[in-house]
């Protein structure tokens, strides 16, 4: 994964080593938990995001709540979540590996190679959907293949949790997701369903 120098050196008890990725909702850092020496991925909500997205804190917390409910080998695991000095954060397992988007830039999977990866990702999505959690942004850059060969789903930043967000209404006409991987119902401003994630996974396989 791409990395660069972090703008901050520490957060709470975490010593920050490098910036791993930046997204619409926040930045993800490689950090050391000084309480036990373990390496973690620390996601911090972008400070000024609420100027652009008024319900950013709710969305960020919904991502954390959804990950807390999940327990799948094929979904990134959460360690801790909270707010520190006004900044919401999520601590996740640190994963050694490469994003699927990075791999497919230089390599075309054959059926024998792609099949076990797809099976693992379907297991991850099945765990989500059993809990009525819809990822909504399945794409190669949100999938990592670890050095051990495990496929894991990342970045639940625009998750739709049908249990954790009861009563929530999606803004009429608002399309959330990445254009190349949008299912027909999402592209037509309809409510996402588990099939939306399956469609996006199929589109990712055709990347």
22 Cβ contact partners less than 8 Å away, ≥ 6 residues apart = 28
Helix (H, G, I), strand (E, B) or coil at 170: coil
Question: 42: which strand partners?
Answer: 29, 91
Task: Please state, in angstroms and rounded to a whole number, the distance separating the CA atoms of residues 141 and 204.
Answer: 9
Which candidate, 59, 96, 75, 79, places its Cα nearest to that of 13?
A: 79
Active-site hit among 27, 33, 137, 161: 137
Burial class of residue 110, CB neighbours in 10 A (0-12, 13-18, 19+): exposed
CA distances from 109 to 43, 65, 145, 146, 153 (A): 31, 34, 13, 16, 18
Q: Does 137 participate in catalysis according to the annotation? A: yes
Question: 186: which strand partners?
Answer: none
Task: Please state, in angstroms and rounded to a whole number, the distance separating the CA atoms of residues 47 and 43.
Answer: 12
Active site residues: 137
């Amino acid at each position: 994964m791409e990395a660069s120098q972090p703008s901050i050196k520490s957060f709470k008890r975490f010593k920050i080593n490098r910036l791993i990725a930046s997204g619409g909702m926040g930045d993800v850092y490689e950090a050391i938990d000084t309480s036990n020496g373990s390496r973690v991925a620390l996601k911090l909500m972008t400070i000024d995001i609420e100027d652009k997205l008024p319900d950013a804190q709710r969305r960020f917390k919904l991502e954390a709540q959804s990950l807390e409910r999940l327990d799948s080998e094929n979904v990134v695991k959460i360690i801790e979540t909270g707010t520190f000095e006004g900044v919401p954060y999520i601590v996740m397992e640190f994963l050694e590996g490469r994003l699927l988007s990075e791999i497919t830039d230089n390599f075309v999977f054959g059926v024998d190679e792609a099949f076990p990866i797809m099976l693992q990702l379907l297991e991850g999505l099945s765990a989500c959907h059993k809990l009525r959690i819809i990822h909504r942004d399945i794409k190669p850059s949100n999938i990592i293949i670890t050095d051990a060969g495990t496929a894991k789903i990342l970045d639940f930043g625009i998750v739709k949790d049908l249990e954790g967000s009861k009563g929530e209404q999606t803004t009429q006409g608002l399309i959330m997701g990445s254009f190349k991987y949008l299912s027909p119902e999402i592209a037509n401003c309809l409510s996402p369903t588990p099939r939306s994630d399956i469609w996006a996974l199929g589109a990712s396989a055709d990347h």
